[in-house]
A and B are shown apart, each in its own frame.
Chain A
Amino acid sequence: QQKVQQSPESLIVPEGGMASLNCTSSDRNVDYFWWYRQHSGKSPKMLMSIFSNGEKEEGRFTVHLNKASLHTSLHIRDSQPSDSALYLCAARRNSGTYQRFGTGTKLQVVP
């Protein structure tokens, strides 16, 4: 079964620091990637999407995509305690109907 793999499993960063999260798809037919954030006890909510090679920035959040390697990364600068959450990567085929999710990276931002 095709998989979406995320690393690291967990990450602790100091407040104000940079958090870097990684995601790779083993499905060569994947064309679209999303990043979702899930706070403890809540449902996942989309944070950012990226469909083209390169970089996309929204405030403190930047995503990169390399389609050749099917790798995307999420970078959070000036991390805040409110950024502490589970970050889920999702991928979808161009011909597909659903998003397949990775196991997530648990981010903890400590004061």
Chain B
Amino acid sequence: EAAVTQSPRNKVAVTGGKVTLSCNQTNNHNNMYWYRQDTGHGLRLIHYSYGAGSTEKGDIPDGYKASRPSQENFSLILELATPSQTSVYFCASGDADINTEVFFGKGTRLTVV
């Protein structure tokens, strides 16, 4: 099964601080995604990438940046963390083929105080 590894698994950050969430996949998938999950909102797409060097805005990109330095790694960056960014963040990867499933990491629980 596809392996997607997120780090850290839990993070407490201070308001105004910088936070970097990391994601690594070992399945040579072209596409990678960052979602956040909040009660009542389901999974919402923040940023995604088609491959190394590319990043695209998803549905809720404000306050977030992304970086895809290689096929395997995709980071989500919060330059100035705010309490409203407290959430569970999931990284996912998938093939470029239109009809393939997406594989999720175990998630990062971020609390901004």
Contact = CB atoms under 8 A, between A and B. Distances in A.
A34 B103 CA distance: 12
Q: How large, as a class, is the contact surface on chain A?
A: 20 to 34
Contact of B42 (A1, A42, A88): A88
A105 to B, nearest CB: 10
A46 B44 CA distance: 17
Contact of B99 (A42, A51, A90): A51
Contacts, number: 51
Interface stretch (A11-19, A53-61, A75-83, A91-99): A91-99
Contact of B102 (A4, A46, A103): A46
Interface stretch (B17-25, B33-41, B66-74): B33-41
A103 B42 contact: yes
A92 B43 contact: no
A98 B33 contact: yes
Interface residues of B, number: 23
Interface in A1-56: 1, 4, 6, 31-32, 34, 42-46, 49, 51
B38 to A, nearest CB: 10
Nearest to A89: B42
A103 B31 CA distance: 23
A98 B43 contact: no
Interface of A: 1, 4, 6, 31-32, 34, 42-46, 49, 51, 88, 90, 92, 94, 96-104
28 contacts: A1-B59, A4-B42, A31-B98, A32-B98, A32-B99, A34-B101, A42-B106, A43-B104, A43-B105, A43-B107, A44-B90, A44-B104, A45-B104, A46-B102, A51-B99, A94-B98, A96-B98, A98-B31, A98-B33, A98-B45, A98-B48, A98-B58, A99-B102, A100-B45, A100-B59, A101-B42, A101-B45, A103-B42
